[in-house]
Amino acid sequence: MTTLKAVRGTRDLLPAETGLWNRIEATARQVFARYNFGEIRTPVFEDTTLFARGVGEETDIVSKEMYTWEDRARAQSEKTQSLTLRPENTAGVVRAYIEHKLGETGQLQKLYYIGPQFRRERPQRGRYRQFSQIGAEVIGPVSAGSESPLRDAEVLEMLATLLDELGISGWVLKLNSVGSATDRPKYIETLRAALLPVVGQMCPDCQRRAETNPLRVLDCKVAEDQPFIDALPKIADSLDQASRDHFAQVCAALDAAGVPYERDHRLVRGLDYYTRTTFEFTHGGLGAQNALLGGGRYDGLSELIGGPKAPGIGFAMGEDRLVLTLQALESTKITLLDTKIDAYIAPLGEAQNPAALQLARELRRQGLSIELGDGSFRLKKSFEAADKVARAIILLGEDEAQSGILTVKQFSSGMQTKVARADLAAHLTASRI
């Protein structure tokens, strides 16, 4: 019989790793709360149409990376429906915003999510077929200020804070504006025209991109192409006055808040819905998948999927990549090592097992983390087992059971003391430091 394994591009996260995952998520929730974001949980699968319309039919994500299937009809009256595992979460959030008429509240909606996403790409370090994103969206009617450049700047400032509090040092914020829904096609035409005479001398990928998606030419990393790319018209020059002003105000607010960023004229993003502000936080430790997070403004997305005008801005961070980055940082290793439980109870002889469970229950109910050994273990084995997981060992033998005075040894100091049962919890708590 062949042994079953996790399918390609998916993986199990074992306790050694989930500790870090939980810490990241807890930090994110805490930061989001300070900025008045609330959590939203949308289904992991949606009607395929949502992604086709929202993310864009021609994007790689929709055209070749989605897990899509026909959900069969279970009755004559039912129709089959094409469903898709979500490849990203913004479309789902906007769908929920429309469906629950959140715009009718008149309030700006600040929503965050944490959860798995699915794309059928070739797996690589930092790139999995099931991966987790932590993201947030600020969306609402224009009257609620959803279009304000201050919203963009606040989101970016929040991200800088979050990365700092996670302990990720050395991130770089790259910022650009791709202009309004009318600026963008205008620029694409300008770019196409400028590429026409030179593209023949560029790399094969660029020749293809010049046809399919000229914006992506700007992303090319081939050294010989760089002079050509530098000479191309910049998108900044194709922006209308409103977009320019908007972007200038985003920058001004970031400057005032002291958030460092790099203006990157070449930053274009792969999802069709982005307008005006786009950004990326990168980190050098990630290899080819160097984007920790990406995002931008999507002023027309709601209308694209049949909703009211609801400008917004959001981002998605690759949680798997945050984990990889943090695992590479020395400080994380140190803090994660220091996660021992409060005590290990060693019953001396199997006769003490029931009493040991009783003691464990008592201490655990007082909030202590306790591991319970077994009376059949030899004392040496108990000590070895205890030292691996706990800061202290509690010996429970006949003497202790009768006297109610327990023997407690702290591993760090080697100090051994006799502690009355009633004082045990306080004693162990005090030794936490």
Partner RNA sequence: GCGGCUAUAGUUCAGGGGCAGAACGCCUGUCUGUGGCACAGGAUGUCGUGGGUUCGAUCCCCACUAGCCGCCCCA
- Which stretches of the chain bind RNA, using CB under 7 A? 5, 7-9, 59-61, 88, 119, 121-128, 131, 133, 205, 209, 213, 216, 219-221, 269-271, 280, 287-294, 316-318, 320-321, 348, 378-381, 383-384, 387-388, 395, 397-400, 407, 409, 411, 414, 416
Nearer CB in complex with RNA: 88/147: 88
In whole angstroms, the minimum distance from the beta carbon of 4 to RNA comes to: 11
Rounded to an integer, what distance in angstroms lies between the CA atom of residue 145 and that of residue 154? 12
In whole angstroms, the minimum distance from the beta carbon of 271 to RNA comes to: 5
In whole angstroms, the minimum distance from the beta carbon of 205 to RNA comes to: 5
- For residues 122-133, b (16+ Cβ closer than 10 Å) or e, as one string? eeeebbbbbbbb
Tell me if 314 sits within 8 A of 359, measured CB to CB. Answer: no
In whole angstroms, the minimum distance from the beta carbon of 118 to RNA comes to: 9
Nearer CB in complex with RNA: 103/312: 312
Single-letter residue type at 346: A
In whole angstroms, the minimum distance from the beta carbon of 213 to RNA comes to: 7
Nearer CB in complex with RNA: 269/276: 269
In whole angstroms, the minimum distance from the beta carbon of 248 to RNA comes to: 24
Tell me if 271 sits within 8 A of 59, measured CB to CB. Answer: yes
Rounded to an integer, what distance in angstroms lies between the CA atom of residue 17 and that of residue 3? 24
Rounded to an integer, what distance in angstroms lies between the CA atom of residue 229 and that of residue 232? 5
Rounded to an integer, what distance in angstroms lies between the CA atom of residue 367 and that of residue 360? 11
Nearer CB in complex with RNA: 130/161: 130
Rounded to an integer, what distance in angstroms lies between the CA atom of residue 19 and that of residue 307? 40
Nearer CB in complex with RNA: 110/321: 321
Nearer CB in complex with RNA: 310/401: 401
In whole angstroms, the minimum distance from the beta carbon of 106 to RNA comes to: 29
Rounded to an integer, what distance in angstroms lies between the CA atom of residue 165 and that of residue 155? 15
Rounded to an integer, what distance in angstroms lies between the CA atom of residue 95 and that of residue 137? 12
Rounded to an integer, what distance in angstroms lies between the CA atom of residue 305 and that of residue 131? 25
In whole angstroms, the minimum distance from the beta carbon of 252 to RNA comes to: 25
Tell me if 116 sits within 8 A of 132, measured CB to CB. Answer: yes
Nearer CB in complex with RNA: 141/318: 318
Instruction: Tell me whether strands 109-118 and 38-39 are parallel, antiparallel or unpaired.
Output: parallel
Q: 175: phi > 0 → left, psi -120 to 50 → alpha, else beta; which?
A: beta
Nearer CB in complex with RNA: 126/179: 126
Nearer CB in complex with RNA: 294/312: 294
Long-range own/partner contacts, residues 212-215 (CB < 8 A, 24 or more apart)? 212/58, 213/58, 214/188, 215/178, 215/188, 215/191, 215/268
In whole angstroms, the minimum distance from the beta carbon of 21 to RNA comes to: 14
Length of the chain as a residue count? 433
